[in-house]
Chain A
């Protein structure tokens, strides 16, 4: 009677050694380095997308489900604005980016005035309902204006080259550019929040709205600006990501969930935390896909659960 059990055990042990051997074999130093680069780059992209949500959800406290739609809006802007910009301003990827961000700030300002300004004192459920409604409106508008087809956006000529990487692979320069944008943005946000008067007011507003108001600061205007900035960052993320991700209906949905994971792991309202969380997810997702493909779909959420068990407020508490 012992025999079958023992046979099963040896088979399992054999499988384990084989698996370990294969993993080691598959992952030499060069490949490992490239995977690290992939992880870093994916993490930074996640931060770029999630940082707008850090502002709106983390600092203003509004559960904004429409954040994914803002991202989608950006991607569609990169696609649809390019010919318009080319016709009126002479074109160019960077001009399009600039026009898109300006439009997003205006739109964000109007959206805050028309919808979100009524939400700060309401329950979370009402925030969820309204921002979910916005998702439907944005999707339908997208369908009416641009249609339901998949579109590609080409990267600007100066960034469309590739760098050789190992003997088979190349690395697109555009991805490095994206990482650069993310790092700049992270640095910029960090400096604004910790070193400027505006940042100080925003932080104060997030911890005690009434008190800030009574000190003579126009909190309504301040929040409108923060919201517009959050939206502009999400749109910028969509525009910058468009050449890599392509542009298609429903593209905001998957991004939305990951953004919330980033903000929650990082600690609500902490930019440093969001950056660290995004990088962590980048690494877990990249190596998870290669080493544990069966579990790749859940690893990120397991990570979130573990971190929340360890630190219920996330890695960095807003301060």
Chain B
């Protein structure tokens, strides 16, 4: 009896939910045409776990732009719906469906973890919901998965790797060992690096990997010492980046074999790395001392609002809001005009704190990748590693 009762109850609630959703959907489509209705923005970001700090920085950046615009995007007030994605790809499809079906969001913003972003992109592609990725670098999001309604305000993993390969080949470095975690971000960064480095005449003599998120590097450092390459290229981020840089220095390798990396090696980690990070060269689409009026204004305003220094993640959140604003303006708040939205975003220059950038056909930023060096706990700008670098968007049929 109990079971049947329970079944009835679920059936009733499901029915009620469906009716509610249906009427809500009717209402929103009717309301969307008028510009008075609120724009529903779904933030699907990590608010707990390893990437919590990144999720918060992205949200701060997004809201900072909104605040500058008087709380409106394209003449519409904004209402936020937040979901903690926990950086867990296995929960991503459920979470994104909650935002789309339950909350009826107009725009999805997310996420940091590539696996989560891929699951989101799949749903966004199927449902046609507008989506802007504010960090996850998985090449596929603007590669095989690309779609007219999917955008990225950050980078593709390929970009910093490729830029660093060019720089190191130009420096005349011949033999390099790469080391990274065996997962999408690591593999794709190293692949980008290898592509340009070998094109420039260098050789990758060994590709070392360890399973994510293992941080026991000692065995591989010993292997590097035995191989004696001219330099090492690496991708690590967060806690792993801190430990790797410290272990590399403690093993005495920093003095004899120079270490280069994708910028995430030294972003948001410098306080913890201390002197062991001094002098490291990395490539990324942002640096601490760009010294442009736009960047200065952004940093000042961010520091005033949140009593925190902004980082690359905050910039990406800020630019996600800018991309949304550009498109919204072009379609006068009617998000069903996807082609017009896309045309406007592809045409316009986004005035980012990182420097102005355009959007490729596949909707990944075409941007300068900077060469930075760690000096006194800052990623100081050394120069441009690769000018207006566009991701090859392999597999994208846009």
Contacts and interface: CB of A to CB of B under 8 A. Distances in A.
Interface of A: 26-28, 31, 34-35, 38-39, 41-42, 139-140, 143, 147-152, 154, 162, 164-166, 168-172, 174-175, 244-251, 254, 285-287, 289-290, 293, 296-297
B52 interface: yes
A35 B257 CA distance: 19
B32 interface: no
Q: Chain B: interface secondary structure? A: helix
B222 A150 contact: no
Contacts of B215: 245, 254
A152 B225 contact: no
Interface string B147-189: 0000000000000000000000000000000000010000000
Size class of B's contact patch?
Answer: 35 or more
Contacts, number: 126
B48 A150 contact: no
Nearest to A297: B211
B239 A246 contact: yes
A150 B211 contact: no
B320 to A, nearest CB: 20
B196 interface: no
Contacts of B227: 26
Interface in B173-216: 182, 208-211, 213-216
A73 B45 CA distance: 25
B222 A35 contact: yes
A34 B253 CA distance: 15
Contacts of A247: 239, 272
Contact of A42 (B52, B211, B216, B220): B216
Contacts of A285: 216, 219
B238 interface: yes
B52 A143 contact: yes
Interface string B242-264: 11001100111100110000000
A152 B253 contact: no
A170 B222 contact: no
A35 B247 CA distance: 15
A249 B50 contact: yes
Contacts of B250: 162, 170, 172, 174-175
A40 to B, nearest CB: 11
Given A26-B226, A297-B182, 15 more contacts: A26-B227, A34-B225, A41-B218, A149-B53, A150-B239, A170-B250, A170-B251, A170-B252, A172-B251, A244-B246, A246-B246, A249-B49, A249-B52, A289-B210, A289-B216
A296 B210 contact: yes
